């Protein structure tokens, strides 16, 4: 599986997790569940629309929003033990999304460094 496909899978699963968590599995107790679902889902819908329209930067923006979901998942891990599995899923999907988005750039940078080292070794 390519890094882009991994990122897309993580993004769509993260998007599906939010309403499933907030409306079905463990609705919020303090705020209305629909409000919490909207706050967590609507920001992900913007890059989702971009992905459907094949915008090149949509996945990047999904990763940026994934950072917020990573923070939310960590907060839930620390504060509410009843949703530990859901919070771990959110943290895992967010982390996978962020790493998969950056993987191709990291590989390209490593290849450039190797080429520079090879060129420098050839000149000496």
pLDDT in tens, 61-87: 999 999 999 999 999 999 999 999 999
pLDDT cut 70: percent of the chain above it: 99
Residue 45: name the closest of 116, 118, 53, 30 by CA: 53
**pLDDT, position 104:** 81
Q: Break the chain into its structural domains and give their ranges.
A: 3-123
pLDDT tier at 52, thresholds 50, 70, 90:
very high
**pLDDT, position 124:** 60
Query: What Cα–Cα distance (Å) separates residue 53 from each residue in 11, 59, 67?
Result: 15, 11, 23
Predicted model pTM: 0.86
**pLDDT, position 61:** 95
22 vs 34: CA distance, rounded Å: 8
Among 1-10, 27-36, 105-114, the range scoring the smallest mean pLDDT is 105-114
Q: Tell which wins on pLDDT, 122 or 30.
A: 30
The 10 Å CB-count burial string (b at 16+, else e) for 83-106 is: beebbebbbebbbbbbebbeeeee
pLDDT tier at 110, thresholds 50, 70, 90:
confident
**pLDDT, position 40:** 95
**pLDDT, position 5:** 94
Examine the pLDDT at 98 and tell me if it is beyond 70.
yes
């Amino acid at each position: 599986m390519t890094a882009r496909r991994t990122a897309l899978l993580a993004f769509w699963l993260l998007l599906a997790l939010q309403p499933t968590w907030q409306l079905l599995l463990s609705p919020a107790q303090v705020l209305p569940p629909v409000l919490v679902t909207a706050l967590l889902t609507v920001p992900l819908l913007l890059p989702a629309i971009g992905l459907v329209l094949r915008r090149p930067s949509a996945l990047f923006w999904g990763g940026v929003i994934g950072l917020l979901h990573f923070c939310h998942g960590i907060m839930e891990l620390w504060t509410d033990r009843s949703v530990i599995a859901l919070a771990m899923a959110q943290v895992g999907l967010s982390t996978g999304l962020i790493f998969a988005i950056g993987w191709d750039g990291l590989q390209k940078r490593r290849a450039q460094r190797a080429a520079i080292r090879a060129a420098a070794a050839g000149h000496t």
